[in-house]
Chains A and B, each alone.
Chain A
Amino acid sequence: MKKTWIVSLLLLMTLSLSACGWFGDDDETPDGRIEITFWHMSPVGSDAYPGTRRIIRAFNESQDKYFVRGTGLNFWDYWDRIGVAIAANNAPDIGFHTLDNVILRAQNDALYNLSALIEADLDAGRPTIEIEAFLENQLEFATYEGHLYALPFTATTRVLYYNLDAFAEVGLTEDDVPTTWSELYDVAKQLDKVSGSTIERIGFDPTYGQGTYHGYLWQNGLDFFDEDLEVTLDTQAHVDVLEWMINFNTGAGGFTRNQLNTFGEGNQMLGLNPFAAGRVGMIIETDGLYQTMKIHGSDINFGVAPIPVPDEDGIRINWGSGFSIEMYNNKDAERLEATWAFMKYLMDYDTQMELAEVNGWLMAHYPAMETFVQGNPILEALLEEVQFAVDKVYVPYAPNWHANDWQRYYDDALSERRTPAEVIAMARANYLQKQENFEAAN
């Protein structure tokens, strides 16, 4: 009896430990083929899982030399896992990352040089990846010292979503969609809806959704940093842009800060995107909002357009922030060969089309996406904006400059604890200190 208990316990422990170490989502055996690992963001149970699995299987069945074992990780877990795996020299052979910091991994020899692989293919007369299929503004971020170390995988873009039902309610049509900041203000004020002192709908708020300070700076030809990554956050123009964002709806904008806070808290309580909830008439969002509204069967009649630009010398530009696809330097020639074959498969026209279908993402392969979006005016408009999408620059001394570093100052300005001029000066001092400290330690 005792022995039975002990054996049962050991069996249970072994099974538990095996389960802990196994994250793969394909149980086929490689039968002597070269096996590589691919980390993606379609975990078992997700909507995209069956499609992703089908794509991987199709590659495995298309040839008998290589075998790809896919591992699907939740989006929120993915970044910690991949970061730790790279740090521990235990990265998958191929996986996603963020396009804007490819340079960090490239300069630390964590990635394979794709330019060399493409050249080798061309020299040998083998089919290879058509680089021309990808936009220059994305490839630039995957390039380090003139060589490609990753490829853009998805093509995120930010646009203005407008609620046509709300437009119709106040007598506006699609012809009235704003293209400049002054038009944006005029239309927004028409869309505002108040009951007593309670805001029921806000026409537009520059701080909502994916409306970012750096995005508005770019539209004005300004930025946080110059080409040498020196802080440039020090002009009156920077202050003016922040003031425009914060004061859009206050003062002459018609609302008090208290009203806006209460309205904003209401949005948070709902847990829905305020545009999808019909609480804002226009919002800046990524292509992801279209997908979300489609999945949830939103009955809002909406359209998308380029983000309105400043009236004088405004630049049509938006923040991209797509994923990259990277081959991690595992120093194994056989696996490199297999990984490169899989990379070429993933990045070809047909697979990119299928990936767009499966994930609902706009993929980076532009000709494939031109076909994919045909007949869908929203997707067509989104794809057009991809051409004007630019990623944020990687700043080694402040990798999170746009979010964590900036957020506390931005919050202070937004809540009127400090003036825009004060927060700009403080943020600048903070970046300078980070730069000084980085240089002291490196």
Chain B
Amino acid sequence: MVTVKKQSSLTALKRQEKRLGYVFASPWLIGLFVFGAFPMLASFYLSFTTYNMVGVPRFIGLTNYRILLFNDNLFWPSLWNTLYHVMLSVPLGLVVGIALALLLNTKIRGMGFYRTLFYLPNVVSVVALSLLWLWLFQPSFGIINQVLDPVYRLLNMEPLGWYRDARLSKLTLILMGLWTAGGSMIIYLAQMQDIPFELYEAASIDGANALQKTTRITLPLMTPSIFFNFIMGIIGGFQVFTIAYIMTGGGPSRSTYYFAYYLFDKMIHDNNMGSASAMAWILLLITLVLTMLALSLNRFVFYLGEQK
């Protein structure tokens, strides 16, 4: 009897905790449904309609999708620009982030200052950063071309046009994006702190050098955070918009006209909410598929303490 009473009392307590949990989580849950789920469902419906944002949406079936996929001269170029951005910015971002973390994981004086310094661009607004880089990459007067001037002279070549050159513009924006690699660096650093010192000690006894310790211990044990940043990089990469909007306006020759930029224009400038919604769902689908493919790489991730 006593046992039963205890169990019942425990269940009541659990129920109360559960209720309280929901109460505390309710602001987030309300936010999720009102500002997340509802707009998503609304945009799914709108993707099957023609809607100019003034009148009433009218159902037109799959027309928006058909037009985008088969009769829109900017859909595929904008998708290609975005894929290009993802394919280059994600691996480059990983490499730079890891390299920074390895550099900033050493024990030298003022390390806290350096770590803060490299993380700092992440707390600056993207707009401000874009404007800053606009000046730095400015082809005629920018400091980057000024610094490279001796190289140009040596090679007898014209200064690079950076974001003004359709062949280099995407790459320029990717290079600019690396400025914020400090964000992933912090995650790598945190993971590095978790690697047991004994492993390095044992490796030292076995005669491993610094490179071997890095490639055989540090990097394998960092794979969970590398994997995390890889996934987040893919998702974030497909949403690239602000830097192109501020720095290049999608040009030159639409070379930096990314998918999200085109979606924005469809809605704001063409008053075509139906088509913009269809683009949003296509983007979600592409991101989802690529993320699922990326998740299949999970088997190469090594979790410390995991039994395999």
Question: Interface on A for B, CB 8 Å cutoff?
Answer: 80, 83, 86-87, 104-105, 107-110, 261-262, 265-266, 269, 396, 398-400, 403-404, 407-408, 411-412, 415, 417, 429-430, 433, 436-437, 440-442
Q: Are B60 and A433 in contact (CB under 8 A)?
A: no
Q: Are A399 and B252 in contact (CB under 8 A)?
A: no
Q: Are B271 and A104 in contact (CB under 8 A)?
A: yes
Q: Are B250 and A408 in contact (CB under 8 A)?
A: yes
Chain A residues contacting B252 (CB-CB under 8 Å) are: 411-412, 415, 417
Q: Are A441 and B141 in contact (CB under 8 A)?
A: no
Q: Which partner residue on chain B sits nearest A442 by CB separation?
A: B50
Q: Are A441 and B53 in contact (CB under 8 A)?
A: no
Q: Are A86 and B269 in contact (CB under 8 A)?
A: no
Given contacts A417-B166, A417-B253, A433-B71, contact A265 B138 (CB under 8 A): yes
Shortest C-beta distance, A436 to chain B (Å), equals 7
Q: Are A441 and B64 in contact (CB under 8 A)?
A: yes
Q: How many pairs of A and B residues are in contact by the CB < 8 Å rule?
A: 80
Q: Are A108 and B275 in contact (CB under 8 A)?
A: no
Q: Are A441 and B73 in contact (CB under 8 A)?
A: no
Query: What are some 7 contacts across the A-B interface (CB < 8 A)?
Result: A83-B53, A104-B54, A104-B271, A269-B138, A415-B252, A417-B253, A441-B63
Q: Are B275 and A87 in contact (CB under 8 A)?
A: no
Q: Are A269 and B50 in contact (CB under 8 A)?
A: no
Total interface residues in chain B, CB < 8 Å: 36
Complex Cα gap A42–B251 (Å): 33
Complex Cα gap A400–B250 (Å): 15
Complex Cα gap A32–B270 (Å): 42
- Name the 10 nearest CB pairs between A and B, nearest first: A108-B55, A400-B269, A108-B54, A87-B53, A441-B50, A265-B140, A262-B140, A437-B67, A404-B269, A441-B63
Chain A residues contacting B273 (CB-CB under 8 Å) are: 87
Shortest C-beta distance, A439 to chain B (Å), equals 11
Whether B265 is near chain A, meaning CB under 8 Å from some CB there, is: yes
Q: Are B265 and A404 in contact (CB under 8 A)?
A: yes
Q: Are B63 and A411 in contact (CB under 8 A)?
A: no
Given contacts A396-B52, A408-B250, 10 further A-B contacts (CB under 8 A): A80-B268, A107-B55, A108-B56, A265-B141, A266-B140, A404-B269, A408-B254, A436-B71, A437-B71, A441-B64
Chain A residues contacting B58 (CB-CB under 8 Å) are: 442
Within 8 A of A (CB), among B231-250: 249-250
Q: Which partner residue on chain B sits nearest A83 by CB separation?
A: B53
Q: Which partner residue on chain A sits nearest B134 by CB separation?
A: A268
Given contacts A404-B269, A417-B166, A441-B275, contact A86 B54 (CB under 8 A): yes
Complex Cα gap A108–B50 (Å): 13
Within 8 A of A (CB), among B95-121: none
Whether B72 is near chain A, meaning CB under 8 Å from some CB there, is: yes
Q: Are A87 and B72 in contact (CB under 8 A)?
A: no
Q: Which partner residue on chain A sits nearest B58 by CB separation?
A: A442
Q: Are A411 and B140 in contact (CB under 8 A)?
A: no
Shortest C-beta distance, B257 to chain A (Å), equals 8
Chain A residues contacting B251 (CB-CB under 8 Å) are: 407-408, 411
Chain A residues contacting B72 (CB-CB under 8 Å) are: 433, 437
Contact code string B251-271 (vs A, CB < 8 Å = 1, else 0):
111100100000001001111
Complex Cα gap A104–B265 (Å): 18
Most buried by A among B53, B56, B135, B275: B53
Chain A residues contacting B224 (CB-CB under 8 Å) are: none
Q: Are A441 and B253 in contact (CB under 8 A)?
A: no
Q: Are B53 and A261 in contact (CB under 8 A)?
A: no
Complex Cα gap A412–B275 (Å): 26
Within 8 A of A (CB), among B38-62: 50, 52-56, 58, 60
Shortest C-beta distance, B6 to chain A (Å), equals 30
Whether B139 is near chain A, meaning CB under 8 Å from some CB there, is: yes
Whether B182 is near chain A, meaning CB under 8 Å from some CB there, is: no
Whether B93 is near chain A, meaning CB under 8 Å from some CB there, is: no
Shortest C-beta distance, A261 to chain B (Å), equals 7
Chain A residues contacting B56 (CB-CB under 8 Å) are: 108
Complex Cα gap A412–B164 (Å): 11
Complex Cα gap A411–B254 (Å): 10
Q: Which partner residue on chain B sits nearest A269 by CB separation?
A: B141
Most buried by A among B54, B58, B268: B54
Shortest C-beta distance, B54 to chain A (Å), equals 4
Chain B residues contacting A399 (CB-CB under 8 Å) are: 269-271
Chain B residues contacting A417 (CB-CB under 8 Å) are: 166, 252-253
Complex Cα gap A110–B140 (Å): 49
Complex Cα gap A412–B64 (Å): 29
Complex Cα gap A440–B50 (Å): 10
Given contacts A433-B72, A437-B67, contact A86 B53 (CB under 8 A): yes
Complex Cα gap A430–B265 (Å): 15
Complex Cα gap A442–B56 (Å): 12
